[in-house]
Amino acid sequence: MTEISDHDLVVLARFDPEAFAGIVNRYSGKLKRYIHRLSRVSSEEGEDIVQEIFIKAYLNLNSYDDRLPFSSWMYRIAHNECISQFRKRRARGIDEQYDLDNDAVQRLISDLSPERDIDNLLRKEFVAQILDKLPDKYKSVLVLRYLEDKSYEEIADILEKNPKTVATLLNRAKKMCHSLITHV
């Protein structure tokens, strides 16, 4: 059986609310991963954000333009919701934090080959720290390009920017990262 396309799934969901579950199933994991890569919210907060994204998608499904990729539309909603959550968290003075379980960390450390794997963990933490220091507009393009593997066109669609602007933002973001790395 062939997988139903995003376009067909949207058409079905517009007429049958039960079909929206197919959209949720298809995008839930991807959006959770994107949110956690873009921010350091807890798993529970990430779940809440994903629920908000799907509520907004469902309520605005009729405004989706079928000529554009549906995945970009979903990521745009996710991006906008993340920005909204960032602002709310900052206004409340809440710092971003990783959701790390002590038992999981201990199991991970015990399974690591110390030199190579700990070095990789340190690199990941270093990259996360660098990303945290970037303004949101630069962090967003880096996450979409390198962690979500989106094309320039998809990023432009998600961020509602011109592809040339995306290229400029990526270039500036890389320069900022380089500057931050050399000054550490």
Span 163-183, pLDDT tens digits: 999 999 999 988 888 888 777
Range name among 18-22, 125-129, 142-146 with the lowest pLDDT average? 125-129
| Residue 77 structural domain | 1-99
Q: What is the pTM of this model?
A: 0.63
In a domain, 94, yes or no: yes
Does residue 47 belong to any structural domain of this protein?
yes
Is 126 among the domain residues? no
Classify residue 42: in a domain, yes or no. Answer: yes
Residue 117 banded pLDDT, cuts 50, 70, 90? low
Residue 173 included in any domain = no
Tokens of 54: 């799907």
Which residues lie closer than 8 Å to 112 by C-beta, 6 or more apart? 118, 121
**Better-predicted residue by pLDDT, 90 or 102:** 90
132 belongs to a structural domain: no
Task: Please report, as a single letter, which amino acid is at residue 30.
Answer: K
| pLDDT higher than threshold 70 for residue 80 | yes
Closest CA to 64 of 167, 157, 174, 179: 157
CA dist 54 and 37 (Å) reads: 18
Is residue 89 a part of any domain in this protein? yes
d(CA 161, CA 67): 17
The CATH number that applies at residue 85 is 1.10.1740.10
Residue with tokens 């015990």: 110
Distance from C-alpha of 54 to C-alpha of 26, rounded to nearest angstrom:
12
Give the count of domains, the chain: 1
